Amino acid sequence: NASATLWDFGDEFVEPADGYGCMQVHNFEAKQTLFAINQWKGGPSADIGIGNSSSDGRTRDWTFTSNASQYEVKRLRVLVRAK
C-alpha cells in the first residue's frame, strides 16, 4: 500500500491553486517510481528523478526535491509504436 505520510506512488490528484504540475510513471505493485518530472514551472528548481528518491526520507516520487539544476542535460523522449 501507499504511504499516508510520504510523497510516493499513491499520491492523489488535487486542484492546486498555483498549478504545480507533474508527470510520474510508477510500478504500483513494486511500490516504485520509474521516473518523475514535477513542478514543471520551476525551471532549474523543478523536481526530476529516475527510480525512488531517497533524498530526504519524505519523498519517493521526487516531489519537492528541486533538483533539476543537478542535471546538465534534460531530455525526455517518448516513443509510441502504433499497432
pLDDT in tens, 13-36: 667 667 778 889 999 899 899 999
Answer whether residue 10 shows pLDDT above 80. no
Question: CB 37: neighbour CB atoms within 10 A?
Answer: 18
pLDDT in tens, 34-77: 999 999 889 899 999 999 998 767 888 998 899 999 999 988 88
Residue showing cell 514535477: 38
Q: What is the pLDDT of residue 20?
A: 77
Is 47 buried (19+), middle (13-18) or exposed (0-12) by CB count in 10 A?
A: buried
